[in-house]
Amino acid sequence: MPIRAILFDKDGTLVDFHLTWSAAAYAAMQRLSGGDPEKMARLVEINDYDLTSHRILPHSVLVAESSADYGVAWAEVLGEVADTAFFEQMDRIFIEEGLKHVTPIGDPPWLLSTLKSRGYLLGICTNDSEAGARAHCEKLGLMPWLDAVLGYDSGHGRKPEPGPVLGFAQAFGVAPQEIALVGDSTHDLHAVKAAGGTAIAVLSGFAKREELAPHADHVIDSVMDLPDLLQSLAGAP
């Protein structure tokens, strides 16, 4: 079936993960640890954060999971209850810190406006919170072209489960087989494949081609290569 709708992962796909989140994560750990050096050290350890380079390491849970996942360990370190209120506090702090550093990959406004002019339905499908994703999309000027923004807390579950893709399909009256999801992790690819859609991997995140290619229908270097790929798939000159 032809592709009628495109969902985008956010971090590592439309947003430079390291430039945006390495500084934001460090600031969030500082704020939540409240100046306690032992708590800060434990947060750095469990999040696989390299203090020498001030970078989140590729195997960190922060790369592809949501605060509902890694927040349980954070709560334990901080002596907090791992409940919705704590996760919302984490999300709020990550939104505030992420907005200070959000850095796009390529020219996402041009990309989305180009695809929208070709008639595609467009959405964000991220394991960030919906509020966090909307805040980033607002800052980057993407909201005019987006039909939906789906976060881990939008009511459809989170990647790698297919719920967000299926929820988008139902909301906009398209078949799951007509949806492509563009992402930089196997979570993205597994989610859309489980729904029956097309998996498009980008190499702008942490994962290498050899990790992503076995799970993807197509692999491109950057999301900015997507219009050419879609044109070739449609058989356009």
In tens, the pLDDT along 47-62 reads 999 999 999 999 999 9
Q: Per-residue pLDDT averaged across 128-135, rounded?
A: 94
Q: Per-residue pLDDT averaged across 63-78, rounded?
A: 91
Q: Per-residue pLDDT averaged across 10-14, rounded?
A: 96
Q: How far is CA 148 from CA 114, 122, 129, 229, in A?
A: 17, 7, 13, 23
Confidence of residue 66 (pLDDT cuts 50, 70, 90): confident
Confidence of residue 1 (pLDDT cuts 50, 70, 90): confident
8-state DSSP, 19: I
Confidence of residue 234 (pLDDT cuts 50, 70, 90): confident
Amino acid 231: pLDDT: 94
Helix (H) or strand (E) holding 182: strand 179-183
| Count of CB atoms situated within 10 Å of the CB of 27 | 17
**Tokens coding 11:** 């971090």
| Count of CB atoms situated within 10 Å of the CB of 237 | 3
Q: Per-residue pLDDT averaged across 28-41, rounded?
A: 96
Amino acid 159: pLDDT: 96
In the chain, which ranges are E strands? 5-8, 49-50, 55-56, 121-125, 148-150, 179-183, 198-202, 218-220
Amino acid 237: pLDDT: 45
- Dihedral of alpha carbons 95, 75, 163, 160, sign: positive
Amino acid 67: pLDDT: 87
pLDDT tens column, 83-98:
999 999 999 999 999 9
Confidence of residue 8 (pLDDT cuts 50, 70, 90): very high
Whole-number mean pLDDT of the chain? Answer: 95
Amino acid 221: pLDDT: 98
Amino acid 169: pLDDT: 98
